[in-house]
Amino acid sequence: MALATAIILSINKHSELRRQLLYYANKPVHLILADGSSDDWITGNCGSIGEMTWEYFRISGSKTYLKRLAEASRRVQTEYVFLVDHEECILWSGVKAAVAFLRDNKDHSCAGGRADTTQLSRRRISLVPHYNSKNKFCLLEESALGRFQTAFQSKRTRDLTYQVKRSSDLRLFAETVENVNLVGRSRYIPEYLQFGFFVLVGKYCGQSFPYWIRNGGSTPTMLGDPDLPTRADYEEMSELIVKAFEKRCSNDRAHKIDLDFSNLNEIMSWKLEQKKSFVVDSSDEVQRSQVSSNVFSRSVSSMVLAAGQILYDCLPNTYHWLRPDGYQTFSMYSSRYSNGSQEVIQDLALIEKIWKKFPSGVSIAEFSTHCESGRSHFQ
């Protein structure tokens, strides 16, 4: 029986989806691949490798994220669920620790651990802290509105999209926002909607165990789309978050809280006021000065980065003495953060091995070859 379900939403990334199947192979997890591509992949609509099972469906379109999330959430059969980016890794050892935490902490809406990012030096794939001190980000206020205010008016916010959640909460949220039109709108809207809902539902506190390994490029803004939400966007998001939260409270009358969407809208719109507080001088002289300064800063940063990579590759002990929080090999990272757990050490070694062998994903032929030795079954 699966401990949890992983939902992977992607577009035109079939080779990366197959790479995810290799990592989760033989683990007690169910994967739901929610594809937005124009064409089906050829690997099949469902299958299994040992204890791991998976299913695939497609709703085409670059703006179908929320529709695919809702459909995937309806297919979840387990009590706990987590989202995974097609290029990244949510460590299975981290999922188990997060599930255990949620079982012991009913007042928390989601759980997860450290977030770190891969970096390529000139010789090897390495890890660096992604959020640094933000790995310790917590929302522990007893008041739902208090948590919401801290979440949206803090410079130390942290996206909760990829944390382990209770599937009933994700399903209720996803079905509430399923029909939001994302065409021509900020790519942050799905993230803000989910973030706002889950900080109202319960507390959050980042744990210290290895959990999320960020890898590859982040999703770029779609051509022609605005970067930040507008005031109208914040108003709509506030109404939807309240609507989803009220549905959730009706299912749990012991925790019923009255909220007005205007309270949330005022808090979220704070970001607009912060943006306006930065005065931009548009004179040609100032613009030329800013461009020159940016070019110089990038040049210096590139030289420092290159020098650091050379020192790391050639004199790693000296490098780590100078930069203890800089590049780390996977084995060094394991020694530092695994707390002696062989499961965590083996988990990190596995994802490193897979990413080294398949840096651009897994082809159909490669997937079939590896699955023949992995007790696989396809339909």
Q: Which tens digits make up the pLDDT trace of 198-255? A: 999 999 999 999 999 999 875 555 556 777 888 899 899 999 999 999 899 887 655 5
Residue 48 has pLDDT above 90, yes or no: yes
Q: Are residues 153 and 289 in the same domain?
A: no
> Which residues lie closer than 8 Å to 155 by C-beta, 6 or more apart?
none
> Which residues lie closer than 8 Å to 56 by C-beta, 6 or more apart?
33, 35, 40, 41, 43, 44, 45, 46
Residue 376 has pLDDT above 60, yes or no: no
- Identify the pLDDT of residue 283: 45
Of 90-104, 114-128, 263-277, the range with the highest mean pLDDT is 90-104
370 is written with which tokens?
């590896």
Residue 228 lies in a domain: no
Q: Assign residue 65 the CATH number of its domain.
A: 3.90.550
Provide the percentage of residues in the chain whose pLDDT is more than 90. 54
The values of phi and psi at residue 260, to 5°, are -110, 135
Q: Are residues 196 and 106 in the same domain?
A: yes
Q: Where are the alpha helices (DSSP H) in the chain?
A: 14-24, 65-75, 92-104, 144-152, 167-177, 189-201, 231-250, 261-268, 270-276, 284-314, 316-322, 330-337, 342-357, 364-372
Q: Which of 7, 55, 73, 13 is nearest to 37 (CA)?
A: 13
State the amino acid at position 339 in one-letter form: N
State the amino acid at position 14 in one-letter form: H
Determine the structural domain holding residue 135 and report its residue range: 4-223+233-278+328-378
**Structure-token match 């699966």, residue found:** 2
Residue 296 has pLDDT above 50, yes or no: no
**Residue 52's beta-bridge partner residues?**
49
- Identify the pLDDT of residue 379: 46
Q: Are residues 190 and 207 in the same domain?
A: yes
Residue 197 lies in a domain: yes
Residue 173 lies in a domain: yes
Residue 346 lies in a domain: yes
Residue 20 lies in a domain: yes
What is the pairing mode between strands 376-378 and 46-49? Answer: antiparallel
Residue 98 has pLDDT above 90, yes or no: yes
Of 307-316, 349-358, 359-368, the range with the highest mean pLDDT is 349-358
